[in-house]
Amino acid sequence: MPTTQFELQIPTIRALSIVDLSGARSLFEKMRIAKGDKIEVCYAPFEHLNPEARLVIVGITPGRTQMLNAIREARRQLDGGSSPIQALIAAKRTGAFSGAMRPNLVAMLDRIGVPQRLGLRSAAELFGPASDLLQSASALQNPVFLTDGSNYNGTPNMTRTDILKDQLLSGFATSARSLNRAYFLPLGPKVSEAMMLLTAEGHLDGARVLHGMPHPSSANMERINYFLDKKPRDQLSKKTNPDSLDAARQSLIQKIEEISEW
């Protein structure tokens, strides 16, 4: 009998058509596991945990690109005869922070000194030969979309919306307790807010949460470029607060330097 969420979903994943795997609306209907007034939650194979991880990078929720990449890889692995656990690991590594955001994330991790503290040349190795050091995660483990099909970006607030808060507590909070050797790096203020809630409720040790990293989305490029010293202060638009980004970058660099054992 199926014993994991992934095993329960394997028959559905095996039965997906070429049209489904191209990202048609039918895929989201077949993978839907919950629905509210403004949002829907779909299954994607992201639940694999690496208990030896030293760094947990926490996004908001997998987006459309990440969901498609993970499901396609899971299907490819299953069709090739891989075991469920092999397929799940491969899907997680392929889909996590994939697409345009991964280069942005790698560049920012390099900028604050993460690879040096982990004995790596670049944070890019965390998505390849050094993947044993990384747990890619999302505050909302299963992909969340607005009912118009667009990616969820933090609205409605996950800490004050029942269907999302339940997912935060039953998914991420439960997983976090198995990652007691790691430091948690939330991406963007929405995820930081969720981590603060989990800290306040005793699910996370606040001393192991590294707040301040901008979200690596391509929609956030001005903040990312300033964080990376690629855009001067005098060329920033009014929507970007350079003082806040300077303080966040310096705080992250200092906290990472002060980690005694990593």
| C-alpha–C-alpha distance, residues 138 and 187, integer Å | 9
* Own/partner long-range contacts of 105-110 (Cβ < 8 Å, ≥24 apart): 105/57, 105/187, 105/216, 107/224, 107/228, 108/213, 108/214, 108/216, 108/224, 108/227, 108/228
Contact (CB, 8 A) for 42 and 4: no
pLDDT tens digits, 175-210: 998 898 899 999 999 999 999 999 999 999 999 999
CA atoms within 13 A on the CB side of 9: 23
- Considering the chain, what percentage of its residues have pLDDT values greater than 90? 86
> In this predicted structure, what is the pLDDT of residue 32?
97
Task: Calculate the alpha carbon distances from 10 to 45, 75, 105, 201 in Å.
Answer: 10, 9, 31, 34
Return the domain boundaries, the chain.
5-45+52-258
Report whether 211 contacts 192 (CB < 8 A): yes
144 - beta bridge partners? 41
Q: Which amino acid is at 112?
A: I
Q: What is the pLDDT of residue 16?
A: 98
Let me know how long the chain is. Answer: 262
DSSP letter, residue 22: T
CA distance 217 to 187: 10
Q: Which positions ≥6 away from 97 have C-beta within 8 Å?
A: 57, 59, 66, 105, 127, 136, 216
Say what the pLDDT of residue 260 is.
Answer: 86
Q: Which residues contact 241 (CB under 8 A, 6 or more apart)?
A: none
CB 166 within 8 A of CB 174: no
Q: Rounded to an integer, what distance in angstroms lies between the CA atom of residue 200 and that of residue 47? A: 24
CA distance 110 to 122: 6
pLDDT at 2: 63
| pLDDT confidence of residue 26 | 96
Residues in the chain with pLDDT values less than 70? 1-3
> Could you tell me the sign of the dihedral formed by the alpha carbons of 40, 183, 118, 87, in that order?
negative
Closest CA to 95 of 124, 55, 127: 127
Dmax over CA atoms of the chain, in Å, equals: 61
pTM of the model: 0.91
Sign of CA dihedral 244, 223, 149, 73: negative
User: Does an H or E element contain 186, and which?
Assistant: strand 183-186
